[in-house]
Amino acid sequence: MNSSDVSTDKLVEDLKMVMHDAEALLKATSAQTGERIQEVRARAEESLRQARARLSEVEREARVRAREAAEATAEYVRENPWQAVGMAVGVGLVLGLLIGRR
């Protein structure tokens, strides 16, 4: 997972938290009356709807990128099986050395 994926995951989690808080706020103010509060609620509901749509798009894009990365990795391994085995052995050796030192 690269830093872009981590940033995307963090953004998705943050958006989910904001949407949850906004939904709770809308529920808490549902008994409030008045033209101004209704106007604010309508804008908040629209913003929440747009945030949900954007969140769905970001999640879809992240799934597409992950699938493309997996396909590229699988293709590389099919085309270069011995290099892939060599890299796996190297990574395993480094991890073994690091774990063995503790």
pLDDT in tens, 38-75: 787 788 888 888 888 888 888 888 889 999 999 999 99
Question: Does residue 96 have a pLDDT over 60?
Answer: yes
Is 54:18 a contact under the CB 8 Å cutoff?
no
Question: Does residue 37 have a pLDDT over 60?
Answer: yes
For the ranges 3-12, 36-45, 50-59, 84-93, the lowest mean pLDDT is seen at: 3-12
DSSP-derived secondary structure letter, 5: H
Going from N- to C-terminal start, the domains of the chain cover: 3-100
Buried b (16+ CB within 10 A) or exposed e, 21-43: eeeeeeeeeeeeeeeeeeeeeee
